[in-house]
Structure 1
Amino acid sequence: MTAVVEAIDLHRTYRTTTGTFRRRSIDVEAVRGVSFEIEEGELFGLLGPNGAGKTTTIKMLITLLIPTAGHARVLGHDVVDDAHWVRERIGYVFGGDRGLYERLSALDNLRYFAELYGVDPKRQRARIDELLELVGLEGREKERVEGYSRGMRQRLHIARGLLHDPPVLFLDEPTIGVDPVGARELRQTIAGLKDAGKTVLLTTHYMFEADSLCDRIAVVAKGRIVAEGTPRDLKGSVSEGVVVEIEVYGIEDSTVELLRTIEGVNSVAVEDRDQAQVVVVQADVGREPTHDVLARLDGVSLGRVTTREPTLEDAYVALVTEQPVAVDG
């Protein structure tokens, strides 16, 4: 089967400046050799922290950025050489409140964008009605967008991106900033896109969201894919082992690096929680690293110490902080 979306060793370098008094130009590698394929009808997730390169990757795939190196194809067509052809057959939805006219109703917004997208006038009203039902906004379409919740606006964004019935849809962190109820409704809408036969690429930094929606996931950190596979594949990487959490009040980077040298420890991360930091240490099954960890934290002000079984979030943290070799699932 031919892949619908192909990223082949994609690179993207930005030129920026640094320094307060003496400015100098530097090159920043936002994407460093990203490769993956998405099959027809698949919901594929790009998971990673802010600044990992997810949005830059998606912008290259939708023709908004030209790759510094590498190639990308959508439906078999190169995104640089056949940019116009690709744009006519993809939809793009981004997180946030931009892109809608707040003083217009949802219906008027969709009518306006239908004209921009060249939707057949004879087909417009039927298409808009279909999309309002798909995203759960039927009965609310005559209300001004300024009165919509953030979740409702995001569902309207999805309707807008589907007006021209594209076979491929790119969703860039669509649930960011949405309240839990709105986010749940939005995830139901996204799941419905796959049922409607769309091929979807979803970027997110929410592990549970990718777990519930995606057929396959690629985890991105510092511009590289550090793991790829099904949600079950990623869960399997932490199905065994132990996690030690220790509250600390100030810790040096050198101490964190020292913890990583403990035998059996495969991941160390520091998280900010309330008034303290928490050192999260993951160790192999059969290892009990608490004594060795505390010994290396001698001189550091400590709080509560707990030991627990690892979770899916722990796998994510290990992947994006330790950057192991990519696993093809």
Structure 2
Amino acid sequence: MNDFAIEADGLRRTYRSRTGWLRPQIKEVDAVKGVTFTVGKGELFGLLGPNGAGKTTTIKMLNTLLIPTAGTARIFGHDVVRETREVRRRIGYVFGGDRGLYERLSALDNLRYFAELYGVPAREQKARIGELLDLVNLTGRENERVEGYSRGMRQRLHIARGLLHRPEVLFLDEPSIGVDPVAARDLRRTVADLAATGTTVLLTTHYMAEADELCDRIAVIAGGQLRALGTPAQLKRHAEDRRVVEIEAYGVGDDAVRTVREIAGVRGVTLEPVGAAQVLTVQSESDIDVQSDVLAALNGIRLGRVSARQPTLEDAYVAIVAGAGAEVAA
């Protein structure tokens, strides 16, 4: 018996689409192109990548929702295609968004319903639901209708639902998407507490600070391929040879971003809205100071704070994805 909770070996998923009517053509798109990695028992493993990179497709192959076109995957040694029932007994799946709960029912009634659906013995349901309400910090709010819950509360209820049958592996697919910062902090605490109990967690997220804080190891996937794998500290080395400049701005458009990307020495650019402002983050080679050229490219745009800082995991992620020739979502 090995020590791996998840094993992916050469996973590939190809989609076929038909175009045209009079002269139809079959088009093939490779969403995942031979991904290989392992996750240890009790590990909190992050899977990062831009939109369309293949993260959710990979998770769906691992949790039996999609059949791989090629390659193999195993959960605690059980093949996801040949031993689907054994795999499903051992996994839970939580996805971001508002789907998957009955809004007119209370949280308690939702958990009772799903406990029956997941085959939790009747004599164990009350105690198990109580444990999970404590874990996700919803004790005292369990009799309220879900339609009155905030998005963060719904996401914590999603996690409780996914844990009802005591899965050995929990897949969390962008659980904090659209959640406010305070609720996201509570979610991170819940996930950390969960991992501390020995549950293996595979987490996808767009939030680098979340991955840096929570994950033991991180895999970066872009263009359907694995581009980097290691601890957060190891991945940060991808940006060690870079300068990073952050510029607060108001009204930066796509043309300005393209102009900044074309400056000699620039290796990565992201633009993120922060309240009423924007933050333009520019990475450059360590021996080239591009700050004056960037400011000149932004001439006519109202600017605020301009600062240089040490590279972070997010900067390393930008370097890895940009090196793969993929666009980084702003």
| TM-score interval (norm. to shorter) | 0.7 to 0.9
Q: CA deviation at 1:17?
A: 4.5
Residue by residue, what CA displacement relative to the aligned partner does 1:131-166 show, whole Å, maximum 9, x if unpaired? 111111111111111111111111111111111101
Name the aligned partner's letter for residue 271 of structure 1. L
TM alignment of 1:76-155, pairs within 5 A: 76-155=77-156
Q: CA deviation at 1:239?
A: 3.7
Residue by residue, what CA displacement relative to the aligned partner does 1:209-250 show, whole Å, maximum 9, x if unpaired? 100110000111111111111111122332453135688766
Q: 1:149 to 1:294 in 2, by over 3 A?
A: closer
TM alignment of 1:289-304, pairs within 5 A: 289=290, 303=301
| 1:181 and 2:182 aligned | yes
SS in 1 for 2:4: coil
CA distance in 2, matches of 1:168, 1:272: 33
CA distance in 2, matches of 1:70, 1:166: 24
Match in the other structure for 1:226: 227
- Deviates most, 310-319 or 73-82: 310-319
Match in the other structure for 1:69: 70
Name the aligned partner's letter for residue 203 of structure 1. T
Q: 1:287 to 1:238 in 2, by over 3 A?
A: same
Match in the other structure for 2:309: 309
- Deviates most, 250-259 or 159-168: 250-259
CA distance in 2, matches of 1:20, 1:271: 41
TM-score norm. by structure 1 comes to: 0.85
TM alignment of 1:145-224, pairs within 5 A: 145-224=146-225
Match in the other structure for 2:328: none
Q: CA deviation at 1:258?
A: 5.2
SS in 1 for 2:98: coil
TM-score norm. by structure 2 comes to: 0.85
Q: 1:85 to 1:145 in 2, by over 3 A?
A: same
Q: 1:289 to 1:161 in 2, by over 3 A?
A: same
Q: CA deviation at 1:318?
A: 1.7
Name the aligned partner's letter for residue 318 of structure 1. A
CA distance in 1, matches of 2:206, 2:253: 27
Structure 2 alignment gaps of length 5 or more: 326-330
Q: 1:213 to 1:20 in 2, by over 3 A?
A: farther
* Corresponding residue pairs, total: 317
CA distance in 2, matches of 1:21, 1:253: 42
Contact 2:67 2:81 in 1 (8 A): yes
SS in 2 for 1:4: strand
Q: CA deviation at 1:21?
A: 10
Contact 1:15 1:27 in 2 (8 A): yes
Q: 1:253 to 1:241 in 2, by over 3 A?
A: closer
Q: CA deviation at 1:271?
A: 3.3
TM alignment of 1:13-52, pairs within 5 A: 13-17=14-18, 24-52=25-53
Q: CA deviation at 1:77?
A: 0.8
Q: CA deviation at 1:28?
A: 1.3
- Deviates most, 186-195 or 230-239: 230-239
Contact 2:242 2:311 in 1 (8 A): no
SS in 1 for 2:239: coil
Q: 1:291 to 1:266 in 2, by over 3 A?
A: closer
Q: 1:142 to 1:240 in 2, by over 3 A?
A: same
CA distance in 2, matches of 1:20, 1:272: 42
Contact 2:8 2:74 in 1 (8 A): yes
Name the aligned partner's letter for residue 222 of structure 1. G
- Deviates most, 230-239 or 109-118: 230-239
Q: CA deviation at 1:301?
A: 6.2
SS in 2 for 1:205: coil
SS in 2 for 1:226: strand
Residue by residue, what CA displacement relative to the aligned partner does 1:103-149 show, whole Å, maximum 9, x if unpaired? 11111111111111111111111111111111111111111111111
Q: 1:278 to 1:196 in 2, by over 3 A?
A: closer
Q: 1:201 to 1:111 in 2, by over 3 A?
A: same
SS in 2 for 1:287: coil
Name the aligned partner's letter for residue 74 of structure 1. I
CA distance in 2, matches of 1:287, 1:212: 31
Q: CA deviation at 1:85?
A: 0.8
Q: CA deviation at 1:280?
A: 5.2
Name the aligned partner's letter for residue 267 of structure 1. R
CA distance in 2, matches of 1:71, 1:151: 35
